[in-house]
Structure 1
Amino acid sequence: MTASLDPDAASPKGAQSLSRAVAVLRAVAGAPPLGARLADLVEATGLSKPTAHRLAAALVHERLLAYDPAARLYSLGAFFLSLGDRAGKAAAEMAAEAEPASVPSLYQRPEYRGEAIPLAHLLCDRHLPGKRSHPAMIHESVSGQTSELSFGRLADYSSRFARVLATIGIRKGDCVAVMLPKGVELIIAALAIWRIGAVYMPLFSTYSASAVNARLEASAVRAIVANRVLIERARKYIKPTTPVFLVEGDHINRIEGRVTQFWSSIYEAEPLTDAATYAENDPFMMTYSAKTVEPRYGLLTPVRALAEIEQYMRHGLDVRDEDVFWNMTDQGWEYGIFYGLVGPLLIGSSILFCDGPYDVSQGYRVLSKFRVTNLTAAPSQIRAWRRGDPSTASHQLALRVVTVGGEPLPRDIIAWVTQKLGVPLVNQYGHREAGMIVGMKHDPHDPRSLNRVSVGRVAPGFSLVVLDDNGVELDAGGEGLLAIHVRRSPLFWFRAYSKDEAATKARFRFGNAYYITGDTGHIDADGWVHYSGQASHAISMHKD
């Protein structure tokens, strides 16, 4: 970047503002593939920092530029990306033709685009006219006690807790940690955080104290919502000024923070009537890789990811209005958060939570008691279920489909689900940075599907390609690096890791046109994806 972009050199009279805006556009167009920083714009244009920032913000508003708050980078917006990209347009048209007629092009939905997206409305309030008394959550305790939380009560309680958070100074963009097991408090806290435009940070129940404190420190958490068991793990981070909302329970040892009782604060507060809005690139969730103690691969999920989440709920998982849906995976994993918490709320489906440690007999009891028709689980959970007997009189199952995400399954597991349970098994793979992108349906009525060696086809809204070591796309059958073609993948939302430039560059090693999955394989002439190497290292929602 050079001073040759001086916006005031030979500018026509009265057109200085336009010339400056054009200079900013030129600076972004000439930036490195991942985008330009504000400092880069100042250097390239010679403008002051406030002026460059003001012009860039105006161009973002007009969608001539796009801004990623996680990476703090400006790039060309949707308007420019749509001009002259004939290959991308053709690919998108081909993808649309390949989609079933019943699957909407969710990436074109206006509610997930723009600068004023009412997240709490999308996840709760819009369902109230027809589902006020419908359960937003059904909770089953280990002892078999069932409780429900309606959409109406969720709206009321979350509005009150949002008022509590706002009163202590939590503002848009602030990070709030939630350390709670599956239950009513978790859903209320999450929705309250989104009502004020803040960032929800879930912490896995099995994290060690070191892992908890490292994540709290790295994300500069402003407040903590926890129960008495999990709050003990955060002692190192908590200072006398740290707001802590503690779910009422048994006595705990004294902690340093400003402790407030969760339910008491809700009952004493007035509802917050005005919900905050997000821009499509604003983050609403913060997570780190769950496999390491240190906070690695910080992922700020933007609101535009809702399009992929809804697509997967409706198409990948095939959740229908009449379904009883149960996502068994934990809320500490992205798969559990995306498709077990956010997804059901987004489409107005009930969340079914079952607390306590995993137990096969309890799993069968829940399936039978609630007549679950649509189940998604981790591979380890499906393997464990073979130890039980679903054919006994006490296990009258109503399953319609079973979905597994995370790793390829051996034939004996596939055969057990499709033949013993007698329902289709859908095995799907994805990245925490992208959601689910590849899937295979094993149908008990189609013997060919049980014998396929492929791991499936690419999901609508994504384009998967194979690259050689120089970043050149290979023809069908060519073995190489599997990558997401960004421009041809309107549902792909990841742009950068939080405060980790090296890890981001590794994902975009050939520029921002391709996201490198880290796996090798090939795609055959019929569009089936094949992975090389150990199957357990195929793309996974839990992968580092």
Structure 2
Amino acid sequence: MPEPAHRVREWLTAYDSPTTSVPHVLCDRHHPDRTAITQIGPDLAPTTLTYGELRERSTALAAGLAAHGIRPGDRIATLIPKGTDLAVTALAAWRLGAVLVPLFSSYAPSAIRERLTSSHARLVVVDDHNRTKLDTDDTPPWTVATTGTHPLRENDTTLTALAAADTPPAPQTPAGGDGLLAIVYVSGLVGPPRGVPVPVRALAAMHAYHHYGLGVEDDDTYWNTADPGSAFGLYHGLISPLLAGHTSLALRAGFFDPELTLDVLGMYEVTNLAADPTTYRTLRAATKTLPPEVVVQRLTSFGEPLAPDVIDWVTDVFGVPVRDHFGQTELGWCVGVPNGDTGTDPGDPAPGSIGPALPGWKVAVLEAVSDEPAPLGAYGRIAVDLAHSPLAWFTGYLDDDSASQVRFTPDKAFYLTGDTGILDRGERLYFSTRDDAAILSRGYRIGPTEVEAVLNEHPAVDECGVYSIPDELAGQLIGARVVPAPGTEASDALAAELKEWVATRFATHASPDVVDFVAELPRTASGKMRRSRLR
């Protein structure tokens, strides 16, 4: 087996080249009879899509999209669940050199519109369930294609109609490593959501993590539970299995249920599972022992640190350790004890540590106020050493030429993750906390200011502050301290109204779990809100 450094160079050569063709590396080079995706309905019935069918359907859709006016560089947004429709739409877009913009289906109409406007979307592909979220009083600059058999609005089209159009195949030109693959939005502490442009060369990082981090092998049944609107769901639920020519599962239940999760694990004999900590915590709360048909051999967790007691429970019940991995939308996943074979025995992680950097990456911990490395064992800012991380690809946010999280010293360049932690003598990372106060709830990363901005639009709110509340199942809940507008009476009914206000105007996953009313918010002498005092 080639050593990891050699294999990383091979992936970089394949995916960071002027001749790199995205549909070729994701689909066309694989055996046409191999299953690409097994889509599972709520009744556990499967629908399969082979690589040959994926090629045929995406080629037909690409021709229809080209006839509809889609050109290289155009942005195609998706508001559809994981599964065959998403794979076909994504491959069709990439055959044209178009850019995918995945969106969370839990977003409210205003949040969806904000991201469609920011990304300059030309087309939105949406399922029937979410179509109403695109209704507007004016004529938007994008067109709508639904996944159902019939258009739901007068000016809509459908994927079926586009794919059935009698048009010649669309011309395909290699995107190259610098071509744009996708735009994925992230929430920060301050300001609107930021679009992360994902270049084609990022495929190398995705393939490396699929192989070394997740450890997915040719004979695995792989299931990634992440939403396709998230980075982990896009990178490693859709893209990396296709890169490797593997089969992945896509559950279309529309809700999380621990019993259904166990049914899928057993019925489909899942051997490799990647899930967020909320999934593991909820399984622990609902499960005493596993059914004998569950045969999982490799487990991965992502999105937020796993508590030691959850790690112990998973290891005891599943009989295999769960690997807690660290990454970001701007990086992919780059730190953790690997599930794949790196040629060396990683051993058991030190208590409390995530693990070392994965092949192709090097992490550092910098001093709190300078960009010099902190002493081993000392807290500092987690950074990626770009000079020794050939898989790094982020250069800046959408419509922002400066990579605000990159710092230069006379002899090095670092990407600042916004997290704090410790490196030990074995270069194992210990995660401490988010530096930017983002809230990690139920697998979602939520910017407090985004929720505050929505709450402040309500006429009954004078001002507010949003904070996190530790929770055993969700990881963190969302709390809001609200100062009522003059003449407004605080009540349980108003609290419920404010929760619904956020759910319908921003996102259901960002709706506060707790709303309290206060006379004033904690502030510094200069008038700045003291977010750390809100809890």
Counterpart amino acid of residue 454 in structure 1: S
CA distance in 1, matches of 2:349, 2:160: 51
Distance 1:209 1:240, change over 3 A: closer
CA distance in 2, matches of 1:239, 1:398: 52
Note the residue ranges of structure 2 that are not aligned, 5 or more in a row: 448-535
Counterpart in the other structure of 1:182: 82
Counterpart amino acid of residue 142 in structure 1: P
Counterpart in the other structure of 1:428: 325
2:280 to 379, 382, 389: 382
Task: Write the deviation string for residues 105-127 of structure 1: whole angstroms up to 9, x where unpaired.
Answer: 32443211222311000000000
Distance 1:389 1:200, change over 3 A: same
Distance 1:184 1:269, change over 3 A: farther
Distance 1:519 1:182, change over 3 A: closer
- Cα drift, residue 473 of structure 1: 2.6
Counterpart in the other structure of 1:106: 8
1:528 is aligned to 2:428: yes
- Cα drift, residue 483 of structure 1: 1.2
1:220 is aligned to 2:120: yes
CA distance in 2, matches of 1:292, 1:535: 10
1:488 is aligned to 2:388: yes
- Cα drift, residue 259 of structure 1: 1.8
Counterpart in the other structure of 1:456: 355
CA distance in 1, matches of 2:60, 2:107: 29
Counterpart amino acid of residue 68 in structure 2: I
1:261 is aligned to 2:154: no
Task: Choose 522-531 or 412-421, whichever is displaced more.
Answer: 522-531
Counterpart in the other structure of 1:56: none
Distance 1:378 1:537, change over 3 A: farther
Counterpart in the other structure of 1:122: 25
Report 1:216-365 matches (<5 A): 216-236=116-136, 239=139, 242-248=142-148, 252=152, 254=153, 258-270=155-167, 272=169, 274-289=171-186, 295-355=192-252, 356-365=254-263
Contact persistence 1:507–1:517 (CA under 8 A): no
- Cα drift, residue 390 of structure 1: 6.8
CA distance in 2, matches of 1:237, 1:484: 46
CA distance in 1, matches of 2:189, 2:431: 26
Contact persistence 1:414–1:450 (CA under 8 A): no
Task: Write the deviation string for residues 442-462 of structure 1: whole angstroms up to 9, x where unpaired.
Answer: 99xx99837612221111111
CA distance in 1, matches of 2:236, 2:439: 17
- Cα drift, residue 530 of structure 1: 2.4
Counterpart in the other structure of 2:533: none
Task: Write the deviation string for residues 490-510 of structure 1: whole angstroms up to 9, x where unpaired.
Answer: 0000010012457x3244376
1:407 to 304, 324, 339: 304
Counterpart in the other structure of 1:505: 404
Counterpart in the other structure of 2:473: none
Sequence identity of aligned pairs in percent? 32
Contact persistence 1:507–1:516 (CA under 8 A): yes
- Cα drift, residue 398 of structure 1: 1.2
Counterpart in the other structure of 2:56: 156
Contact persistence 2:20–2:176 (CA under 8 A): yes
- Cα drift, residue 378 of structure 1: 0.6
Counterpart amino acid of residue 3 in structure 2: A
CA distance in 2, matches of 1:296, 1:246: 26
Q: Which has the larger radius of gyration?
A: 1
Distance 1:354 1:291, change over 3 A: farther
Q: Aligned residue pairs: how many?
A: 436
CA distance in 1, matches of 2:61, 2:415: 39
Note the residue ranges of structure 1 that are not aligned, 5 or more in a row: 1-98
- Cα drift, residue 308 of structure 1: 0.4
Task: Write the deviation string for residues 1-47 of structure 1: whole angstroms up to 9, x where unpaired.
Answer: xxxxxxxxxxxxxxxxxxxxxxxxxxxxxxxxxxxxxxxxxxxxxxx
Counterpart in the other structure of 1:211: 111
Counterpart in the other structure of 2:313: 416
1:369 to 258, 264, 267: 267
CA distance in 1, matches of 2:192, 2:244: 32
- Residue 197 of structure 1 aligns to a residue in which SS? coil
Counterpart in the other structure of 1:90: none
Distance 1:506 1:427, change over 3 A: closer
CA distance in 1, matches of 2:192, 2:50: 35
CA distance in 2, matches of 1:536, 1:293: 9
Structure with greater proportional strand content: 2
CA distance in 1, matches of 2:85, 2:220: 24
Task: Write the deviation string for residues 134-193 of structure 1: whole angstroms up to 9, x where unpaired.
Answer: 211101101222111111111001000000111122111111111112222111101000
- Residue 235 of structure 2 aligns to a residue in which SS? helix
Contact persistence 2:419–2:434 (CA under 8 A): no
- Cα drift, residue 313 of structure 1: 0.3
Contact persistence 2:360–2:389 (CA under 8 A): yes
1:169 to 23, 48, 69: 69
Task: Write the deviation string for residues 48-87 of structure 1: whole angstroms up to 9, x where unpaired.
Answer: xxxxxxxxxxxxxxxxxxxxxxxxxxxxxxxxxxxxxxxx
CA distance in 2, matches of 1:241, 1:427: 42
- Residue 487 of structure 1 aligns to a residue in which SS? helix
- Cα drift, residue 441 of structure 1: 6.4
Distance 1:384 1:249, change over 3 A: farther
Contact persistence 1:113–1:280 (CA under 8 A): yes
- Residue 337 of structure 2 aligns to a residue in which SS? strand
Distance 1:160 1:412, change over 3 A: same
Task: Write the deviation string for residues 276-328 of structure 1: whole angstroms up to 9, x where unpaired.
Answer: 31121221101112579975221010011001000000000000001000001
Contact persistence 2:298–2:321 (CA under 8 A): yes
CA RMSD across the alignment: 3.1
Counterpart amino acid of residue 80 in structure 2: L
Given the two structures, how large is their TM-score scaled by the length of structure 1? 0.74
Distance 1:441 1:106, change over 3 A: closer
Distance 1:317 1:288, change over 3 A: same
CA distance in 2, matches of 1:478, 1:441: 24
Counterpart in the other structure of 1:65: none
CA distance in 2, matches of 1:387, 1:539: 22
Counterpart amino acid of residue 24 in structure 2: H
Task: Write the deviation string for residues 342-376 of structure 1: whole angstroms up to 9, x where unpaired.
Answer: 01111011121001211111111111111000000
Contact persistence 1:326–1:374 (CA under 8 A): yes
- Cα drift, residue 411 of structure 1: 2.1
Counterpart in the other structure of 1:63: none
